Amino acid sequence: MTRTIIAQGTFDILHPGHVHYLEEAAAMGDELIVIVARKANVDHKETPICPGEQRRAVVDALEAVNRAILGHEEDIFVPIEELDPDVIALGHDQHHDEAAIEDELERRGIDCVVERASAREPAADAELLSTRHIIDRILERRS
C-alpha cells in the first residue's frame, strides 16, 4: 500500500530550506505530492513574485517530489479531499494551526495525520533559508 504525503507552500523563490522541508516530507512515505499555493490564497505574507505555474514547475523538478500541483483557487482543502493523503507534512515554520487543520480534516471525513518537518540550520553564514531574507539581500545589494 502506497503511503501518500502532501506538502504545501508558496515556494516563491526556492531555497535550501524548501528543499530540506520537501526531502523530509518525502521521507515520511512513498509518494510526495506538493500543493503550490495560488497567489489569491497567500494572505499571511507578501504576495508571491513568481507566477504560480513557474513556482509549480520548479517544485515539480525537485528529485524528492513525485508531483506538484497548483492549489484550488477558493478552498485549500479541495485538493486534499481529492488526493486523500495519509500525511500532511507542514514546514517547521509554517503559520498553520495544526489543531484547526485536524478539525477540518475530520469534518470533511479525511483520515490523515498532520506532522511537522524539522528546521534546518544554515550551513554557512551566508546561506539564506528564507525567501524574505533573499529578497532583503537583493534589495540591499542592488538598491
Annotated binding site for ATP: 10-11, 15-18, 93
DSSP state, residue 70:
E
- Within 10 A of 115 (CB to CB), how many other CB atoms are there? 14
Residues annotated within the binding site are: 10-11, 15-18, 93
Which residues lie below 8 Å from residue 127, measured CB to CB, with a gap of 6+? 16
Q: What is the spatial distance between Cα 124 and Cα 27, in angstroms, rounded to a whole number?
A: 25
